[in-house]
Structures are given as C-alpha cells and as structure tokens.
Amino acid sequence: MAHFTKATSIHDWLNQRLAIDTVRRVMAKEYWVPKNINFLWAMGMVIAVTFGLLLISGIFLMMYYQPNIKLAFDSVNYTIMKEVEFGWLWRHIHGVAASVVFLIIYIHMFTGIYYGSYKKGREMIWLSGMLLFVTFSAEAFAGYVLPWGQMSYWAGMVITNLFSLGDLHMNGIVEWIRGDYVPSQAFLNRFFMLHVLLLPLAILGLIGLHFGALRIPHVNNQEGEEIDFEAEAEKYKEGNKKESKVIAFANDFLSKDLFIVSLFLIFFFYLVFYHYEFAMDPVNFDPADPLKTPPHIYPEWYFLWSYEILRPFSINIGLIAFGFAQVIFFFLPFLDKSPNAKPAHKRGLFFVWFWAMLIDMIILTAMGKLPPEGIFSKIGLVAALTFIGLWIALPFITKKEKEL
C-alpha cells in the first residue's frame, strides 16, 4: 500500500510538472513584445495606475461623504475640504485623476486607431477597450452627481431626460431611473451605489478582459511588421538581444512602462498641488437648487464632443446623432475595409481621415463648452455633420486602399 501511494504521488507530481511546463510553453510567447514601440504603448499602464489612485482616494472620501441631499454638499465642501486633515488632498487627487484618466484614455484610443490595433484578430482588444471607455464614462457621470452642486443636479436632470428620447410617453423610463419625478434622494442613492460599487466592479472585470484579450494576438508594433515571435525570442534568449526584434515583458518592457508612469505621476501631482481647479467646475461650488437653472448647462470636458453633436439639431435628430456618436467607435474594426494593419502614415487617405477625425473632435469639445449662439452654433453644426460624414466615408476610402 505504501508503495502504491508513493507511486501515485510521483505520478501526480509528474502530471503537475507536465501541466505547469505546458502552460509555461503556451504562455512564454505572450511575454514577448516588439522592440520598436514607443511611449504611447505605456498608456494602458498609466490608465491602470490612475484607476488605482481613483480607488484609493475614493475609499478615503467615502469615509466622510454623506449620500443625503441635505448633507452631501456640505460633507464634500466643508467636512472633507476644511475639517478632515488632508481631506483636501484626497479630493484633489480624486478630482484630477477623474479628468486626467480620460485624457489618457483618448490618447490610448487614438494610438490604437493610428497603429491599427483593432485589425487582424485584435477586434476583441478594441471592443473590450471601448466597453471600458463606456463604463468609465458612466462611472465619471455618477461621480459628478455626488457633490450635489448646481451643475451636478442639472447635469443629472439633462442627461437622464435623454432616456425619454424626446417622447412624453416615455417619461416613465426617466422617472424609473431617477426613482422620482425629479432628481432627489432616490436619485442620489442610486448614483452613489453605482459609483462606489457596481461600476468599479464592472471596470475591474473589463480591465481583466482587456488584458486577457491582449494575450490572444501579440501586441502590434509601430511599423505593422509581422514578427515571428518564437524565432525572435530564441535570439533574445541566446544573448543576441541587439538583432532580436522583441524584448522580454519582464523586466525590459515593464521598466519602460514604469519610467513613463513615473513621468506621468510628476505631471499628475503637479496638477494636484498647483492646478487642481481645472478639474472642478466653479458652478458646482453652489449648492443644488431645483428652482434655479444655470444659464448654460454643460458636462465635463471629456463629454463635450458628444454633447456638441446633440445640440445643433432638433431633439429627435439630435438624439439619433448623439446615439450614433456613442456607438460608432465600436464598429471601427468592421468599417475599416482595408487589409492593411499598418500605421496611418502608410495608408494614404486613412491618414487624412485620422487627423480630420481628431481635429474635428477637438473642435467639437471646444464648441461644447461655449453657449450655442452666433458663430459658435454654426461651427458646432458643421463639426457635428463632419463627424458623421467622416464615419460614413470610412468604408469607402479604406475599401479602395491597396494592400501594402
């Protein structure tokens, strides 16, 4: 019996080692990345670090925040900012991180578009990333409501009104979302729950999905070159690092990421200590007043481009245009008909399309902060039509693209 047990244990041990070795061989190629990638590939790590800062600062803020319409404003602007030691610091970190994370997300997103990170088997990477963008947007909006200032209240009013789709018969949906006829205690409770629990859990899950999707194909490089990762990895392991086209994820690539993260944190804490006001709307330092509508209601800067697509049109057409802007990026892998997974500067008309889209979104963002009157209204209309037109044109200009 003792002999049988020993044999069985040795057999199990060998099976375990075989399983471990098999997994190691399968995973080995996923820990190699192209050598010729620049600092823009580090934006994913920067987003993860910023999300970590949001989680930590949010936990400290939650200790003193009161999710009550009569206490929320004072708990943020007096208790946290003036009475709690270093409460101001945690609020500044949270507010700045909430804005900066979207700047990094947009850089990350347009880097992916420029270098074709959504093509040739990488569709899941793109789709999971866009789901993260939408979830981050919902998380940011839910958090914007919590201080219960003037802009918090009225932004909540305007955005939830969109769910009626301009039809009075569908106001029941809006009331169901709010829990009341107008934003009040039930509304604040729901958005507090979304902000501190449900949406952060969804973001964590999607981050896992996004990183998991990155392991299916290799990370693409700056030139769109197809690399034999196994052969190049062998060169690297044999000591021929100079000629190898890949580098090890740990610690070569990771050290590059950490260097970029360090530079980002210098920039981030400079904003936290010296220019935190850019992330805090002055109108939101007035308590919410349901009887006093602000003269000009607008969302945070990272939503302005899609808000401006809504404004120039009538309510029904505007909602269609707004919905179009929210979902169209998901379809990029299927609208780009080109066989090339090359950077934009090698793709002719797509290069023009890319910069036209980027400039147009910057114009939409600028116009969204300004009152919709005079020349600003006309520029906003042209920019909104240009955005829609560029996406309609994309399949046609990429279909004619010759294979490189």
Q: In this structure, are 234 and 368 located in the same domain?
A: no
What is the structure's pLDDT at 30? 46
- Domain-terminating residue out of 276, 296, 316: 296
Task: Tell me the C-alpha to C-alpha distance, in Å, between residue 3 and each of 16, 120, 253, 276.
Answer: 20, 54, 49, 71
Amino acid occupying residue 376: F
Strand (E) or helix (H) holding 248: strand 246-248
Q: In this structure, are 288 and 336 located in the same domain?
A: no
Q: Which tokens hold the place of 347?
A: 């793709």
In a domain, 16, yes or no: no
Residue 136 in 3-state DSSP?
helix
- Tens digits of pLDDT across the chain (404 residues): 444 444 445 555 445 554 444 444 444 444 677 777 888 888 999 999 999 999 999 999 999 999 999 999 999 999 999 999 999 999 999 999 999 999 999 999 999 999 999 987 889 999 999 999 999 999 999 999 999 999 999 999 989 988 887 776 778 899 999 999 999 999 999 999 999 999 999 999 999 999 888 877 777 777 767 776 677 777 777 777 777 777 777 777 788 889 999 999 999 999 999 999 888 888 899 999 999 988 888 889 999 999 999 999 988 898 999 999 999 999 999 999 998 888 999 998 999 999 999 999 999 999 998 888 889 999 999 999 999 999 999 999 999 887 76
Strand (E) or helix (H) holding 374: helix 374-399
CATH number, domain at 273? 1.20.810.10
Q: Which tokens hold the place of 181?
A: 């006829």
Q: In this structure, are 355 and 210 located in the same domain?
A: no
Which residues lie closer than 8 Å to 270 by C-beta, 6 or more apart? none
The structural domain count of the chain equals: 2
What is the structure's pLDDT at 237? 76
Q: In this structure, are 31 and 111 located in the same domain?
A: yes
Task: Tell me the C-alpha to C-alpha distance, in Å, between residue 168 and each of 108, 154, 173, 323, 340.
Answer: 40, 19, 10, 19, 48
In a domain, 139, yes or no: yes
What are the b/e assignments for 278-311, b being 16+ CB within 10 Å? ebbbebbeebbeeeeebeebbbbbbbbbbbbbbb
In a domain, 12, yes or no: no
In a domain, 5, yes or no: no
Cα–Cα distance, 323 to 306 (Å, whole number): 9
**Cβ-contact 174, 160 below 8 angstroms:** yes
- Domain-terminating residue out of 259, 279, 296: 296
In a domain, 9, yes or no: no
Q: In this structure, are 205 and 349 located in the same domain?
A: no
Q: In this structure, are 271 and 223 located in the same domain?
A: yes
Q: In this structure, are 262 and 272 located in the same domain?
A: yes
CB atoms within 10 A of CB 70: 10
In a domain, 350, yes or no: yes
Q: In this structure, are 235 and 255 located in the same domain?
A: yes
Q: In this structure, are 220 and 267 located in the same domain?
A: yes
Cα–Cα distance, 195 to 253 (Å, whole number): 33
Q: The pTM is what?
A: 0.88
CATH number, domain at 357? 1.10.287
In a domain, 230, yes or no: yes
Q: Which residue has the tokens 């086209």?
A: 245
Q: In this structure, are 261 and 314 located in the same domain?
A: no
Task: Tell me the C-alpha to C-alpha distance, in Å, between residue 328 and each of 14, 366, 387.
Answer: 51, 21, 10
- Domain-terminating residue out of 296, 329, 352: 296
In a domain, 68, yes or no: yes
Q: In this structure, are 163 and 263 located in the same domain?
A: yes
CB atoms within 10 A of CB 376: 16
Q: In this structure, are 351 and 274 located in the same domain?
A: no
Cα 179 to chain centroid distance, Å, stands at: 28
What is the structure's pLDDT at 78? 96
Domain range spanning residue 311? 298-404
What is the structure's pLDDT at 4? 44
